[in-house]
């Protein structure tokens, strides 16, 4: 990728993260212990903890912590609140107050386990999108056989996407991988029903054309079409797709991990022979379970906004929420927003030129 598209931005010396402590199924039972553990391992972090007035006593160490600021909210967005209620009626919710900390420049990132639809709507309303980005996308990692993760987007923010949206996702995903890993030139795959360029619907074919042209100009490194199994094989560093397909894939992978864990437990308790085999294989099985554990991959970035927001899984426990905090920290410290803006602008100009050229009448 072009050197001009990868600016040498120095990491932040101190990172401030606003946390919606009330979000998710477990609420403060998960978020507050995770925050305390995170502070102990990240000495250059300050946390702004947003929640109801009566919740702090459950983790008293946070009450007097020198790097913690408590911000009281009077409302909570529930997991089943309609978007309209969360956005228009609950204007003093912990979710909104946390995002406003980012908007007002008091925090570098916000993290919440709350209602995904509400979080996306509030974040888009409060922060707005980066110029040239039509729709934010949800991005996170899937485990792969290479021992790392395949970054995938969109995972549910946009059910239907145009070819231009998929190209925007590729540019944003490349910036995310560059600033949160040591990979300076991540490869991008377009999820399709086959590797051949002629496969898929018209939207996918057109997206492939745009991605190839953007790659020729050095804005991304496009591998080509990939199939579902390539996500877990680690064929490419990034896979782009619409939010419907991405969300189905995400939920299916979580279900598969749970199935494998259940089957292993069943085999361990079946009879003395399988118990003996399982006992001998325990170190291998433990490493396998750790690699596919969805907790390690918790924390999805809402890319395309004028501020960093990370979505933790609604069922996240203390361990999983801690991983979401780490992802937000890495993105903030390495200035993901600036990188997305610097890489997206040239690519989006290219998109506009390509679209305009296609739309112009052909000379006779």
- The top-scoring range by mean pLDDT among 32-41, 245-254, 293-302, 353-362 is 32-41
**Distance of alpha carbon 349 from alpha carbon 253, whole angstroms:** 36
pLDDT at 5 > cutoff 60: no
User: Please, which residues have CB within 8 angstroms of residue 148's CB and are 6 or more apart in sequence?
Assistant: 141, 234
Residue 4, Cβ neighbours under 10 Å: how many?
A: 10
For 45-69, the pLDDT digits (tens) are 999 999 999 898 888 899 889 999 9
| Interaxial angle between packed helices 272-280 and 243-268, expressed in degrees from 0 to 180 and rounded to the nearest 10 | 120
Taking the model in full, what pTM does it have? 0.82
Quote the DSSP letter at residue 274: H
CA distance 141 to 190: 15
Read off the pLDDT band of 16 (50, 70, 90).
very high
For strands 308-311 and 109-112, give the pairing: parallel
| 27-36, 170-179, 201-210, 269-278: range with lowest mean pLDDT | 269-278
Q: Which two tokens stand for residue 194?
A: 């086959």
Give per-residue pLDDT as tens, 204-263: 999 999 999 889 888 899 999 999 999 999 999 999 999 999 988 888 877 766 666 676
The span from the CA of 110 to the CA of 133, in Å, is: 20
């Amino acid at each position: 990728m072009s050197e001009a598209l990868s600016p040498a931005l120095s990491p932040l010396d101190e990172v401030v993260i606003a946390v919606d402590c009330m979000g998710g199924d477990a609420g403060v039972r998960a978020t507050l212990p995770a925050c305390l553990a995170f502070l102990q391992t990240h000495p250059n972090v300050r946390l702004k903890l947003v929640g109801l007035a009566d919740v702090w006593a459950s983790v008293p160490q946070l009450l007097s912590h020198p790097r913690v600021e408590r911000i009281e909210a009077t409302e909570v967005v529930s997991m089943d609140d309609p978007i309209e209620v969360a956005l228009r009626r609950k204007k003093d919710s912990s979710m909104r107050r946390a995002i406003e900390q980012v908007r007002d420049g008091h925090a570098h990132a916000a993290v919440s386990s709350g209602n995904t639809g509400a979080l996306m709507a509030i974040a888009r309303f409060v922060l707005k999108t980066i110029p040239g980005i039509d729709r934010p996308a949800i991005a996170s990692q899937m485990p792969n056989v290479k021992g790392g993760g395949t970054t995938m987007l969109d995972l549910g923010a946009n059910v239907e996407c145009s070819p231009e949206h998929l190209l925007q996702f590729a540019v944003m995903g490349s910036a995310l991988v560059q600033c949160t890993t040591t990979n300076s030139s991540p490869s991008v795959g377009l999820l399709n029903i086959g590797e051949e360029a002629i496969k898929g619907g018209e939207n996918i074919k057109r997206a492939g054309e745009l991605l190839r042209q953007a790659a020729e100009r050095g804005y991304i490194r496009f591998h080509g079409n990939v199939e579902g199994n390539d996500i877990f094989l680690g064929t490419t560093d990034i896979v782009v797709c619409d939010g419907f397909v991405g969300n189905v894939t995400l939920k299916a992978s979580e279900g598969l991990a749970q199935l494998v864990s259940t089957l292993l437990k069943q085999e361990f308790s079946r009879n003395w022979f399988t118990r003996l085999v399982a006992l001998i294989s325990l170190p291998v099985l433990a490493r396998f379970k750790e690699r596919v554990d969805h907790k390690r991959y918790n924390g999805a970035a809402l890319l395309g906004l004028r501020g960093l927001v990370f979505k933790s899984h609604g069922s996240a426990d203390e361990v999983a929420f801690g991983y979401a905090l780490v992802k937000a920290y890495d993105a903030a410290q390495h200035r993901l927003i600036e990188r997305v803006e610097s890489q997206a602008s040239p690519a989006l100009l290219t998109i506009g030129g390509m679209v305009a050229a296609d739309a112009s009448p052909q000379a006779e």
